Amino acid sequence: MGSIRDPSTMPLAAYLWRRIRQLGVQSVMGVPGDMNLELLDYIDSVDGLSWVGNANELNAAYAADGYSRVKGCPGVLVTTMGVGELSAINGVAGAYTENVKLIHIVGTTGTRAQKARAMIHHCLGVDPDHRIYAKVSESVRVAHCWLDDSRTAPGEVDRVIRECYIHSRPVYIFVPMDFVHVPVPAALLNNPINLVPKTDSEACISATNAVIEKLEKYSAPAIIVDALVHRFGATGIMNTLLEQLQILTFTTPMGKSIVCEDKPYFYGVYNGQVSLPGVADAIEEESDLVIDVGFVHSDSNTGGHSRNMPSTEQCIRVAADYVQVGHARYEGVYLVEFLTRLSSSLTTSPASHLTTHKRRTPTLPRPPVPSDADSRHITQSWIWKRIGSMARPGDIIIGESGTAQFGFSDATFAAGVRYITQIYFGSIGYSVPAGFGAAVAQGEMQNEGGRTILVVGDGSLQLTVQEIGTMIKMGLRNVIIMVINNSGYTIERAIHGPEQGYNDIAPWNHQLLLSAFGLNSSEVSSRVVDTKEGFEEVVLSPEYTALNSIQLLEVMMDRMDVPWRLQAQIDLINERNARMKMAESGR
């Protein structure tokens, strides 16, 4: 900087940030550190790109995850070698396993110090390998690069960004301090990065035909729409296709809110044996063809692995990068490309012939009336449906791991409500920073009146609470934080040790949190409710319906009350374990 620069070049850091801006990214998460400060200097030079600055690096990673889930582009975070990089790794791992696009940029020591294996702060031990941390993160990324050669660096940036999209997973970019300012050709920016995977078009045609054949052959098809549809940016084409097909449609706990829930063909959440009455039967017994799109077959997304699918011949699986029709697998067929082709095939071929006779409208049994339906107090059987029904198009709901995650499967969302939760990785503490990132993204999308409704238990809140301060620092006005106060780790009490001390937590005064984290006292609005009536009064008040300041609502609930779905999954797993033990001891 400062030296005369060839106008056909730009500093490498500027190149990196412009590439990132081209993806649609407007906010960069992270924590400053002496090895990334000069890198951060270049953010301001890019129109429309801003630094956020989180309270810590784990929170930054979660925030980037939440941001990506709302905007569709990658979430970006910047950390410092070692100390920051490792602090973030759990958030990156969550993005990896849940297929969220993340670009983790790490500012490192200069290459001279690396070669000398100098004992610089943040290194490990004597004669330290400064690049050892890049090995630590191998399992939680799909690509990485070191920007340590000005000739290859722009290409490396482009390569890893492409990989981030193709796999919808995290990538790492390591930037040694002495390469921040090196000149690279500016003209490279004019060629956009190709972010589209290369689908094998012949395989794609074959897969499409095979699917159409199946649809012709079977008379009672059903479709399950799952999380990867969202992650690979296929939500729009998926809903177009559903409109064309009009077949019985379900979603999963992780896929919830992808499908417009007010459609006549939508029949709720399928979660194996942990589903509302009639749901599992409608798929497992009454359908003769099941299309499983963008599936994630993790335990809590399949009722503890309790699905009983029809025979392989009667199943179609649409994965991120292949389609399996019966026993035939079509490799190199990517999700968006496949759904797009299938949709256009249905337009040109007589789609009505394929689908109209399959328009089933079964009537599922009414869900049982909970025994505590008349309770004045706020119950698990009531709260999730009620939060679901308060959400309006444009709102985002974040459900923390724990009771919220199990409970929200019972809610019905209006079209245009986004729901975010981390079920497969299931890291408690995710929701507060992810909610922050989601709210930032919501603000950028100029979604007037859109609210981010963050629902977190008192236990999970403790892990990442300081990100409330970042919400306040950024002046967010679109966030409602609902703290489910049930005196500790209720989900764990349900699993084991209901009275054990390890399921207790430090008893905080939640009503003071907004003020402690810097919200101006004239703006502060923290409330506590312990009855349904009180809850109604608050959420129907103008402060909540015409949200103009961050709000915190503490919802008092019984410490041993749990969603029926949680209890059902626990019972199912306990029974299975008991059976296995019996079988083993009988050997």
| CA-closest candidate to residue 66, choices 448, 384, 419 | 419
Residue 121 is among the residues annotated as catalytic for this protein: yes
What's the closest the beta carbon of residue 62 comes to a second copy, in angstroms? 11
Distance CA(272)–CA(258), nearest Å, equals: 19
The footprint of a second copy on this chain (CB under 8 A) covers a number of residues equal to 88
Tokens of 17: 């940030």
Distance CA(386)–CA(384), nearest Å, equals: 5
Distance of CA 236 to the CA centre of its chain: 17
Nearer to a second copy, 135 or 151 (CB): 135
Tokens of 397: 């709901």
Binding of residue 121 to a second copy (CB under 8 A): yes
Binding of residue 505 to a second copy (CB under 8 A): yes
List the interface residues with a second copy, window 562-581 (CB under 8 A): 580
Annotated active-site residue in 84, 426, 435, 459: 426
> Binding a second copy by CB under 8 A: which of 112, 117, 357, 359?
112
Residue 509 is among the residues annotated as catalytic for this protein: no
Residue 239 is among the residues annotated as catalytic for this protein: no
Contact 219, 321 (CB under 8 A): no
Question: With CB under 8 A as the contact rule, which of the stretches 16-24, 39-47, 209-217, 283-291 interacts with a second copy?
Answer: 39-47
Over the range 551-566, which residues count as b (16 or more CB within 10 Å of their CB) and which as e? bbbbbbbbbebbbbbb
Alpha helices per DSSP H over 117-152: 132-136
Greatest distance between any 2 Cα atoms in the chain = 82
Distance CA(3)–CA(164), nearest Å, equals: 34
Binding of residue 509 to a second copy (CB under 8 A): yes
Question: With CB under 8 A as the contact rule, which of the stretches 260-268, 360-368, 514-522, 546-554 interacts with a second copy?
Answer: 514-522
Distance CA(470)–CA(32), nearest Å, equals: 14
Tokens of 161: 């960004």
| CA-closest candidate to residue 90, choices 408, 346, 426, 384 | 426
Binding of residue 236 to a second copy (CB under 8 A): no
> Binding a second copy by CB under 8 A: which of 496, 537, 548, 578?
496
Binding of residue 38 to a second copy (CB under 8 A): yes
Binding of residue 90 to a second copy (CB under 8 A): yes
> Binding a second copy by CB under 8 A: which of 119, 196, 373, 578?
119
Q: Which residues touch 21 (CB under 8 Å, ≥6 apart)?
A: 46, 47, 48, 49
What's the closest the beta carbon of residue 36 comes to a second copy, in angstroms? 9
List the interface residues with a second copy, window 406-445 (CB under 8 A): 423-429
Nearer to a second copy, 513 or 547 (CB): 513
Distance CA(88)–CA(250), nearest Å, equals: 35
What's the closest the beta carbon of residue 339 comes to a second copy, in angstroms? 20
Pattern of binders to a second copy over 16-35, x per CB under 8 A? ---------------xxxx-
Annotated active-site residue in 313, 321, 492, 523: 492
List the interface residues with a second copy, window 318-337 (CB under 8 A): none
Give the residue numbers annotated as catalytic, written as ranges: 34, 57, 121-122, 426, 458, 486, 488, 492
